[in-house]
Amino acid sequence: MFLVPDIVVRFFHRMASPPHYYALTQRLMPWLVTVFVLLTLAGLYGGLYLAPADYQQGDSYRIIYIHVPAAWMSLFIYMVMAIAGAIGLIWRIKLAEIVSISSAPIGASFTFIALFTGSLWGKPMWGTWWVWDARLTSELILLFLYLGVIGLYGAIDDKKVASKAVAILALVGVVNIPIIHYSVEWWNTLHQGPTVTKMDKPSIHVSMLIPLLLMALSFKSYYLIALLQRTRIELLKRERNSQWVKTMILETGK
Amino acid sequence: MKPARKQRLILISLMVIGIAIATGFALKSFNENLMYFFSTTDVVAGKSPKDSLFRLGGMVIKGSVERPGDGMMVRFKLTDFSKEVTVEYTGILPDLFREGQGIVAHGKLNAQGVFIAEEVLAKHDENYMPPEVKASLKTKSLSEKGQ
C-alpha cells in the first residue's frame, strides 16, 4: 500500500491475526471497564443531579441522557457494521467479518433503547406514545435492518457465506442512515430538529451539554467492551480447530 | 491493490451508489406523503384534503387561546408566520401546549374553514436551557426593544 506508513500496515496485520488480537483484547479489558464505569458515574451524576431543570419540560428532559446517546450509537454502530462488512467482502479479513456481525445485537439493543425511551418521553410531552413521522419510522426501519442482519446470519449454516450475505444486506441498509439523520430537516416531523449534531452552535445550555457528551462517551466505551467480548467468543468458535486455541486451552485449562 | 480486490471494491461502491440514487428518486416522488403535517399556508391555499382527516401543524398565536363556554372546548389560531387557521379542540391538551409553541393537530376542516381537531400533539423545539437563562434572555430582548 502506498502513502500508508509501514508501522500502521504492520499494526493492522497484527490486529488481523486472531491469536494476537485475542491476547491484546484480554489485556485491554480491565482498563476499558474502568473508563466505562468512571464515565457513566460522572455522566449520570452530572445529568441527573448537577444539571438544572429545563425551562419548559422541567425534569422530564433528563431522559435525553439515555435517549440521545443511544440514538447516536444506533447510527454509529450501523456504520461500523457496514464498513467492517465491506472490508470483509473486499479484503477477505476474517476479523472484519466478525466485528461486523458482532456489532449487530449491540446496535439493535441501542436502537430499541432509543425507540423505547423516546416513547416514554413522547407520551407526557407530545401527548402520544408513537407517531408515524419520518424520524420515528426510519429509526424503526433501522431496528428491522439490525434484526434482519441477525436473522440472516443465523439462517445460513456456512458462516463464510453468511458473513458475505450479511455484509451486503448491511451495505444496502446504509442508505437509511442519512435519511434518519436528515429526516427532521427534509420533512415536517413531530420529532424536533437536531440540538447538538449540526453546523451551528448547539442549542443546549453548556451545563446540560457536558453530561450529555460524557454519557455519549460512556456509551461508546460500553460498545467497545461489548464488541470486544463478542468478537473474542466468535473468534474462539470459528477457530476452535486451530492450533493456537488448542495450545491456549491446554495452557490455561488445568 | 490486487486486481480482484479492486474489482470487488468498485462493485460494492457501485452497488451503494446505485441504491442511494434509487432511494433518492423514490423519496422525492413520495415527498408529499412523507410530510407528517400540512402547514397553515397549504390549508388556506386549499392544498389540504377537503373531506378527510389530515394533520395541521403550526405555532399557536400569542393571545389567541380562548375557552368559549364552560366545557373543555378550546379555540386558538395557528400560524406559519404567513397565513392563519382557527382550530377548535375538545379534550385534554399535552403538557407542552402553550401560546407561542408549535403543535400538530389531527382533524378536518368544517364548512366555515375552521379546523376541528380530534387530537392535539405538542411539537417540542430543539432548545434546552435552565429557567434562569430563559428569564435573562427574555429581559435582554425586552430591554433591546425598549431602546
pLDDT in tens, A160-207: 899 999 999 999 999 999 999 998 888 888 888 888 877 777 888 888
Rounded Cα distance, B79 and A164, in Å: 52
A55, pLDDT greater than 70 = yes
Residue A62: inside a domain: no
- Enter the C-alpha cell of residue B131: 429557567
- For the residues A139-157, what does the mean pLDDT come to? 95
Phi, psi of B73 (to 5 degrees): -70, 130
Mean pLDDT in residue range A34-59: 91
Kindly tell me if the per-residue pLDDT of B35 is higher than 50. Answer: yes
Shared-domain flag, residues B10 and B58: no
DSSP B30-91: THHHH-SSB-HHHHHTT-S-SSS-EEEEEEEPTT--B--SSSSEEEEEEESSS-EEEEEEES
Beta carbons of B34 and B27 less than 8 angstroms apart: yes
Indicate whether B139 belongs to any domain. no
Residue B54 has pLDDT above 50, yes or no: yes
Does residue A244 form part of some domain?
A: no
CA distance A37 to chain B (A): 27
CB–CB of A89 and B8 under 8 A? yes
Whether B146 shows a pLDDT value over 60: the answer reads no
**Same-domain check for residues B65 and B44:** yes
pLDDT score at A127: 83
Grid cell, residue B17, equals: 451508489
Supply the CATH number for residue B78's domain: 2.40.50.140
Question: Residue B147 — pLDDT band, cuts 50, 70, 90?
Answer: very low
B27 and B41: one domain? Answer: no
| pLDDT of amino acid A1 | 46
User: What residues of chain B lie within 8 A of the CB of A93, using their CB?
Assistant: none
Residue A240 within a domain: no
Q: Is the pLDDT of residue A78 over 80?
A: yes
What is the rounded average pLDDT for all residues in chain B? 83
Does A229 touch chain B if contact means CB atoms closer than 8 Å?
Answer: no
Whether B55 is in a domain gets the answer yes
Same domain, B67 and B27: no
Please classify residue A236 by burial: count the beta carbons closer than 10 Å to its beta carbon, then call 0-12 exposed, 13-18 middle and 19+ buried: middle
Residue A20 has pLDDT above 60, yes or no: yes
Which chain A residue shows the shortest CA-CA distance from B120?
A: A127
Least confident of A14-18, A129-133, A210-214, B111-115: A14-18
For residue A94, pLDDT beyond 90: no
pLDDT confidence band for B70 (50 / 70 / 90): confident
For residues B63 and B24, membership in a common domain is answered with no
Residue B117 inside a domain? The answer is yes
Is residue A100 within 8 Å of A85, Cβ to Cβ? yes
Across the interface, whether the CB atoms of B126 and A203 are under 8 A apart is answered yes
**pLDDT score of B63 more than 90:** no
Are B20 and B91 contained in the same domain?
Answer: no
Task: Assess if residue B111 is contained within a domain.
Answer: yes
Domain assignment of residue B141, yes or no: no
CA distance A31 to chain B (A): 34
In a domain, A10, yes or no: no
pLDDT band at A146 (very low <50, low <70, confident <90, very high): very high
Residue A53 with chain B: CB contacts under 8 Å: 130-131
Which residue in this structure is represented by grid cell 429545563? A54
Within 8 A of A61 by CB-CB distance, chain B residues are 128
Q: How many domains does chain A have?
A: 1
B100 is in which domain, residue-wise? 37-123
Give B65's pLDDT tier (boundaries 50, 70, 90): confident
Residue A114, CB-side half-sphere exposure with 13 Å CA sphere? 27
| Alpha carbons A106 and A108: distance in angstroms, whole number | 5
Residue from the list A53, A195, A204 with its beta carbon closest to the beta carbon of B131: A53
Q: B94 vs A127: CB contact, 8 Å cut-off?
A: yes
pLDDT for residue A8: 75
Distance from CA of A167 to the nearest CA of B (A): 10
Tell whether B68 is covered by a domain: yes
Q: Which domain holds residue A86?
A: 28-54+67-227
Contact yes or no for B38/B48 (Cβ under 8 A): yes
pLDDT at B143 (0 to 100): 60
* Least CB–CB distance from A205: residue in B93, B94, B133: B133
| B22 and B62 both lie in a single domain | no
pLDDT band at B140, cuts 50/70/90? low
Size of interface A-B (CB pairs under 8 A): 116
Query: Do residue B17 and residue B44 come from a single domain?
Result: no
∠ CA B117-B118-B124 to the nearest 5 degrees? 75
A155-159, A227-231, B17-21, B93-97: least confident range: B93-97
Q: Is B28 in the same domain as B42?
A: no
Mean of pLDDT over chain A: 90
Q: Are the beta carbons of A193 and A69 closer than 8 angstroms?
A: no
pLDDT band at B129 (very low <50, low <70, confident <90, very high): confident
> Which grid coordinates belong to A236?
474462539
The total domain count for chain B is 2
A127 contacts B122? CB cut-off 8 A: yes
Mutate to test the interface with A, among B16, B31, B36, B54 (most CBs of A within 10 A): B36
User: Is residue A96 assigned to a domain?
Assistant: yes
A124 touches chain B (CB under 8 A): yes
Whether chain B has a CB inside 8 Å of the CB on A233: the answer is no
B75 inside domain: yes
Out of B9, B35, B128, name the one closest to residue A195 (CB).
Answer: B128
Whether the predicted pLDDT of A32 surpasses 90 = yes
Residue B27 lies in a domain: yes
How much is the average pLDDT of A82-106?
93
Residues B43 and B113 in one domain: yes
The CA distances from residue A189 to A215, A219, B58, B137, in Å, are: 26, 27, 12, 27
Judging contacts by C-beta atoms under 8 Å, the chain A residues touching residue B5 are 90-91
| Closest alpha carbon within chain B to A54 | B130
**Of A25-29, A64-68, B91-95, B110-114, which range is least confident?**
B91-95
Shared-domain flag, residues B114 and B91: yes
ipTM exceeds 0.85, yes or no:
no
B10 and B54 co-located in one domain: no
Cell of A26: 484480554
> Residues 98 to 117 of A: which have CB under 8 A from any B CB?
none
